[in-house]
Structure 1
Amino acid sequence: MMESKVNYTAVGVFILLLCLLLSATVYWLAVGGRQQNTTPYLIYATDNVNGLRDSSNVLYRGVSVGRVDSIEIDPANPTLIRIRVDIDKTVPVRADTVAQLIPQGVTGLSVINLTGGASPQPLSTAPGQPYPVIRYAPSVFSRLEGGLSDATLMLSKIATRLDMLLSHENLQALSRTLMHAEQITGTLAAHRQDIAQTLVALRQSSQELAALGAQGQQLSTRGEKLIARLSDTTVHLQDTLGEMDAAAKSWRQAGEGAAKLGATGTQALDQLQSRTLPGFDRLTDNLQRLSSQLTDLVRSLKGNPSQLLYGVPQPPPGPGEHR
C-alpha cells in the first residue's frame, strides 16, 4: 500500500492565504468602496438614542442612503450624543436637512431618518467641526416620553397635595365648617321674615340712593354749565382788563403829552414875560405919549386953525429976549 505524499504545511498556508484574500475582498466591498462613495456627517442627539447601533441604517425619507459609523458621548458636552454617519454622495444634504431617530418595527432597534432638503444651499462644515453637522430633532417617542414623565411628575405632585388636603386635621376642620354652615342656615331660616324686611328696606334705600344719584347728576350738570359760564365771564374779564390796560397806556401817553405841552407853555410864558411884555410896555408908553400929543394937536387946531397954514405961533419973548 502506497502512502500519500501530500504536504499539509503547503495546504495550510494556501488555505490561510485564501481566507485572508477573501477577508480583504469582503472588507473592501463592505467598507472601502462605501467610504469612497460616501460623505461623512455628524449628528448631535439631544435625547436618548436607545436602539441605535453601529452600522444602523440611515434613511432619507424612508430610502436607505447610508449607515451609522460610530456612536459616542461628545467629550466637549456630555449632554450630547455624537453620531458619525456615512451618507451616499448623491444624496442632497442641504442646510435645512433634519435628522430624527425613529424605531424600526417591533425589534427595538432604531434608525436615523433624514427630512428636508428643500433649501438650495448645501450643508457646509461649521468652524471647529471636522465634518458637516446635520441638525437633530427629538423623535416623537422621545417627546411623548418626556411628556409622560412630566405628566407623571405632575400627577405625583397633585396626589401629594390631595393627600395633604385630605389629612385628618383638614377633614375635622371641614366637618366643623359644615356644622357651622348648618347652624347658620338654621339661624337664617328662623329669621327669614326679618331678613325679608331688611331686604325691602335695602331695596327702598337703594331706590333713594338712585334718586339722590340722579339729583347729584343734575347738580353736576348744572355745576358744569356754571363753570362754563364762569369760564366765559373770565374770558370777558380778561378782554376787559386788556382794554383797560390799553386805555391806561393811552391815558399815560396823553398825560405825558400834556406834561410836555405844559412844559412848552411854561417856556413860551417865560419867553413872553422876558421878551414880549417889556416891548409891549414900551409900545404902550409910546402910544400913550402919541395919544397925548395928538390930543394937544387937536386942541391946538381947534383954538387956532390957521396954524395949519402959518405954523404954530411962537410964544412971546421973555424979559430980555429980542426977536
Structure 2
Amino acid sequence: MENKAHALAAGLFLLLLGLALAASVAWFQGDRTARVRYTVVARSGVPGLNLKAPVKLRGVEVGWVDSIGFDPEDPRQILVGIVVDAAAPVAATTHAQLGLQGVTGLSFVSLEEPATSAPLQRAQPGARLALKPTLLDRLAESGPLLLAGFAETAERLNKLLSDDNRDQLSRTLARLDQTAADTSRLMAALQPAARELPSLLKNADGTAQQATAALREIQTLAADGRALAQDLRARAAVLDRLDAAAQQVQATSRNLELALVGDTPQRTRSVLADVSAASRSIERAAHELGEQPQSLLFGRGAQPPGPGEAGFADRLKTGAAK
C-alpha cells in the first residue's frame, strides 16, 4: 500500500509540475501587445499574399495579415484585414503596396506614406487603406500597349532597312567619305594661307591706319575746298557788283553824250568820249572776269588771235567745224 501511495504522490507531483511549466511557457510566450485592425482595399489582384503574411511599415514589421476575402458590397474589390501594432504610426494618408519576399514568390503588405512635412494624423481603427499597384503591376497593365508599340517600331525599322534604303545609305556613306577626304585636302591647302594670315592681318592693320590718315587729309582738303569756294563766291559777288556799276556808268555816259550832242564844246565831247571808253573798258574787264573768275587767282589766260594775227584763220576753221 505504501508503494502505491508513493507512486500516486510522485505522479501527482509530475502532473502539477508539467502544468506549472506549461503555464509558465504560456505566460512568457503570450502576446499582450495592443493591436489595431485595418482593412486594405485592393481593386486588382493580390498574388502571393497569404494569411499570416507580414505587414511592414517603412520596412519595419508591425503586424500580419488576418483575413483575405471579396467585398460583399462590391465583388470587384478584395478586402485584406490586417492586424497592426497600436504604437505603429499609421497615418490617415497611408496607403498599401504588395512587396515580394525574396525569390519565394510570396508577398507581404507594405504600408507607405507620402513625403510630407505636415504633422502626423493617425488613422482611425478599422479605417480602409487603398492598395496601390506596384511598378510591376503597372508594367503588366501597360504590357499590351508596350507590345503594340514594339511591334509598330519593328515594322517601321523593317521599312527603314529595306533594300532600297540600304543602297541609298551606302551611297550616302560613300559620299560622306569622299566629302571628308575633300575636306582634308582643302584643309591641307588652306594651312599655308592660315600661316600667312597673321602677317596679312598686320598689313591690313597698317593699311587701315594709312587709309585713316588719307581720310583725314581728304577731310582737310575738303575743308580747304569749302573755304576756297566761299572765297570764289565772295569774289563773284564783287564782280557782279562791278559789272552792275560798269553798266550804270555806261548808261550814264550814253545819256550825257545824247544830251550834249550838237552844242557841246569840243573839250566836253572829249571828256565824254574818255568817260565812255573807260566805262567800256570796265564793262569788258567785268565781262572777262565773269567768264574767267579763276583769273583772279591764276592770272589771265592767253587771248585768242584777232583778225590779221597768226592763227586767226585756224580759229575761224575750228569755229566753222564746231
TM-score range relative to shorter protein: 0.3 to 0.5
TM-score of the aligned structures, taking structure 1 as reference length? 0.38
Structure whose alpha-carbon radius of gyration is higher = 1
